[in-house]
Amino acid sequence: MRRVLAAVLAVLVGVWAAGVLRALARVAPELRTPRLLISFAWVPLGVLPAMRARMRQDTAVPPGVEVTERSADGVPVLVYDDGSRPRPSGALLWIHGGGHLVGHPGMDHDLAGRFVAEAGVLVVSVDYRLAPEDPFPADLDDCVAALRWLQDHADELGVDPARIAVGGASAGGGLAAATVHRAHDDGRPVAFALLEYPMLDDRTALARVPGGRGRFVWDARMNQRAWTAYVGRPAGDPGVPPGAAPARRRDLAGLPPTWIGVGDQDLFHDEDVSYAGRLRAAGVPVQLHVEPAMYHGADANVPGAASMRAFRGRMVTAVRAAVG
């Protein structure tokens, strides 16, 4: 019996290894790293609060950029500025990623500072509440409150209220889209949306993903668990609360010009491309960039790779052109 079990285990390991190798072959060589073999899909959600403290690691703030802690009507935010921008300037409300479950503003110090230094804008990054302790709509409410604070304090911050953008990565990209929707509906629209591989559609958790996409960093199992924890019901359920999954919004007309970037090996590729198409069909100007051989979060995983520097450079250029 032990020999049979060992043989079965060997076969399963071989199948798994073959699948990993096939998936790695679709990833750009400069983006391959041993960290791609680490998965959090089986980590109990109950240990997340303890894990967050251990996972909390800030990236470096670029030289010359100052970071100030502020309270946006009770919501903690970080304000990035370098003192050299013209006043009034444009501004970017930035929302970090983490699947609605983990993450913190400091993880994007480097990117936020790059927006300041290269796009010439003020950046406000939101330290929003996280699920499962604080499920939807807690984080969205925090992001909307931060946006309203930025709009209401534009003069104090040296910002042109007509040149405010909202952006984010992964779950933060989904929150950015949802924040832009809420701002539009409330009659307080923004000028631009920057969505970096945004997490937009809970129904992706139930879909068969073609082409082997989503094997690394953020896979289908983790996506399903995250959405379920966030919305308090099974991912894909017809009763998912309105506003939680931006891709479920039917009417996209009147939303601001939008930039969307995603890798062709990202689990979110199809939902992001679909959202871009629906925006275009609704008359919204859209720039869609699909990065070849890129998995989810590769720019944060391997920030020094030439392709990832260029990928982030595209975002900086988009912000500078839209509100800089």
Assess contact for 140 and 175: CB atoms under 8 A.
yes
Q: Are the beta carbons of 311 and 299 closer than 8 angstroms?
A: yes
How far is the C-alpha of 252 from the C-alpha of 236, rounded, in Å?
A: 21
Distance of alpha carbon 109 from the chain centroid = 14
Q: Cα–Cα distance between 211 and 13 in angstroms, integer?
A: 21
Which of 249-271 are b and which e, b meaning 16 or more Cβ less than 10 Å from the residue's Cβ? beebeebbbbbbbbbebbbbbbb
- CB count in 10 Å sphere of residue 189: 15
Angle at 321 between CA 144 and CA 105, to 5 degrees: 40
Residues 6 or more apart in contact with residue 183 via CB below 8 angstroms: 144, 147, 166, 189, 190
Known catalytic residues?
170, 266, 296
Residue 70's SS3 state is: strand
Token pair of 162 as six digits: 């007509």
How is residue 103 annotated by DSSP?
-
- For residue 77, the cross-strand partners are 70, 126
